[in-house]
Chains A and B, each alone.
Chain A
Amino acid sequence: MERQIDVEIRELKDLILAMGCCVEKSIEEATQALILREPDRFKKVYELEKTINEHHILVDEACVRILARQSPLAADLRWIVATIKINTDLERMGDQAVNISHNGERYLTEPALKPLIDLPRMASEVRQMVRSCLDAFVRKDLALAEQVLQQDDVVDQLKNEILDELKAFMARDPQSISRALNLILIARNLERLGDHATNIAEDVIYALTGKDIRHGHS
């Protein structure tokens, strides 16, 4: 039996998926623009952010409508609550891609400080986390959501290594400071993206199991 709420949840899921695609695309464009030194690609990020913001509102409206009209309970209720939170994270992720673009544009106005090695690794790790948490949400895949939580540790470690290396650069050569700072900010933006993906994974776990695992809660 298909319930009216199933229809509405499916539409909502499509909306979140579309939004998630935009977020993935904007992270891809922002990081590739930086890595490949193709500043034109940053423009795409600013366009995508507008679409993401529109979806942010549409998703919220759909959630409120379902809450008001369908009075969801149990797994349905948890799913809507999780969606509301995931929506917020996705919107912030769009903002972080924009931040990467701003910092990246500034970085690209000067010659390369060094060949980027760890930063592309970190970017690829983060993009995989984003992909996985969205897949876990769509496919109701608990194991995949739990895997995202592990991956966040890798991202944090990469960020620390990048920071150490760039600090050493700045100490050696004052000429490097503004470029190193931009890269530090970008590493920080990527770290935040990983945190948002982690939040989404935690929300997926809550939607699927009813367990709130945030802040070591069990």
Chain B
Amino acid sequence: MGVEMLNSVELETLGLQAYFGQVRALHGVSLQVPRHELTALIGPSGCGKSTFIRCLNRLHEESPGARAEGKVLLEGRDIYAPTVDPVLIRRRIGMVFQRPNPFPAMTIYENVASGLILAGVRDRRVLDPVVERSLKQAALWDEVKDQLKKPGTRLSGGQQQRLCIARALAVDPPVLLMDEPTSALDPISTARIEELLVDLKKAVTVVMVTHNMQQAARVSDRTAFFLLGEMVESGRTDAIFTNPADSRTEQYITGRFG
């Protein structure tokens, strides 16, 4: 197997702990996420995957009573440093959720452009190419280019999820977080999203929670296994799925528990 080569690290956590009130949901997780790779987070439900990913763009602290300790470095800079504005972080680190959530009152175009519009950009000559580029990156352009004025909620579930991906991409984030992005979708929509993820990695670093082991095996470069608020093991996906180092990982991915 030889020496493991990491792409340069885009995002890194150091001893990350997350609390809901007194309850600690993450017990000091240290993980390196290489640039332009897809890192999959797997583990039984309740093990802290969503909590972890929500700490990566400071969304976790929005839950009542929730806080995080430890460091999260984006390109080497701690996003939890006191001077950092969490709103700016959430623009740099986009998020796609399990259920597609296009803004209901907005057209397809407005949905994609919303991040820029919110930031004060109004000029169509700026917005048009961004909307087109983002929809292309999300593999949705061909299907919607003639109906950009239709409400986003008119699209099918799979299309809505790709619309949400396009919306997240429009502000050009270096990192995209996805929390079970296909678990509400049918197999064909799932396959389309998996396909676009492969292209997407050329432009963005992706961290994706999935409860579907085969999906992690198909699309990710690296996989991290979580259990009971700890990260048990992380490594190259092919190594994790053919020869995991930790027996708990082995048991989980071979379906012996969880």
Query: Residues on A close to B: CB < 8 A?
Result: 1, 3, 5, 71-78, 209-210
A-B contact pairs, 20 of them (CB 8 A): A1-B257, A3-B256, A5-B254, A5-B255, A71-B214, A73-B213, A73-B217, A73-B241, A73-B253, A73-B254, A74-B241, A74-B243, A74-B250, A75-B250, A75-B254, A76-B254, A77-B241, A78-B242, A78-B243, A209-B243
Residues of B within 8 A of A75 (CB): 250, 254
Interchain CB contact under 8 A, A74 and B242:
yes
Residues of B within 8 A of A5 (CB): 254-255
**Category for how many chain B residues contact A:** 10 to 19
Q: In whole angstroms, how far apart are the Cα atoms of A76 and B244 in the complex?
A: 12
Chain B contact residues, majority secondary structure? helix
Shortest CB distance A215–B (Å): 15
Shortest CB distance B148–A (Å): 39
Q: Of all chain A residues, which has the CB nearest B253?
A: A73
Q: In whole angstroms, how far apart are the Cα atoms of A75 and B253 in the complex?
A: 10
Q: In whole angstroms, how far apart are the Cα atoms of A74 and B255 in the complex?
A: 10
Interchain CB contact under 8 A, B241 and A3:
no
Interchain CB contact under 8 A, B242 and A3:
no
Interchain CB contact under 8 A, B243 and A1:
no
**Beta-carbon contacts of B194-224 to A below 8 Å, as 1s and 0s?**
0000000000000000000110010000000
Q: In whole angstroms, how far apart are the Cα atoms of A210 and B255 in the complex?
A: 19
Residues of B within 8 A of A210 (CB): 242-243
Residues of B within 8 A of A71 (CB): 213-214
Nearest 8 A/B pairs, CB to CB: A210-B243, A73-B253, A73-B241, A74-B250, A74-B254, A76-B254, A74-B253, A71-B214
- A-facing residues in B218-258 (Cβ within 8 Å): 241-244, 249-250, 253-257
- A-facing residues in B147-161 (Cβ within 8 Å): none
Shortest CB distance B254–A (Å): 5
Shortest CB distance B180–A (Å): 19
Q: Of all chain A residues, which has the CB nearest B255?
A: A3
Shortest CB distance A83–B (Å): 15
Residues of A within 8 A of B243 (CB): 74, 78, 209-210
Q: Which one of B250, B253, B256 lies within 8 Å of A1 (CB-CB)?
A: B256
Seed contacts A73-B213, A74-B241, A74-B250; 12 additional CB < 8 Å A-B pairs: A1-B256, A1-B257, A3-B255, A3-B256, A5-B254, A5-B255, A71-B213, A73-B242, A73-B253, A74-B242, A74-B254, A75-B254
Looking at A5, A73, A75, A78, the one whose CB has the most chain B CB atoms below 10 A away is: A73
Q: In whole angstroms, how far apart are the Cα atoms of A209 and B1 in the complex?
A: 13
Q: Of all chain B residues, which has the CB nearest A1?
A: B256
Q: Of all chain A residues, which has the CB nearest B245?
A: A210
Q: In whole angstroms, how far apart are the Cα atoms of A73 and B244 in the complex?
A: 10
Residues of A within 8 A of B241 (CB): 73-74, 77
Q: In whole angstroms, how far apart are the Cα atoms of A75 and B250 in the complex?
A: 7
Shortest CB distance A139–B (Å): 20
Interchain CB contact under 8 A, B244 and A74:
yes
Shortest CB distance B69–A (Å): 33
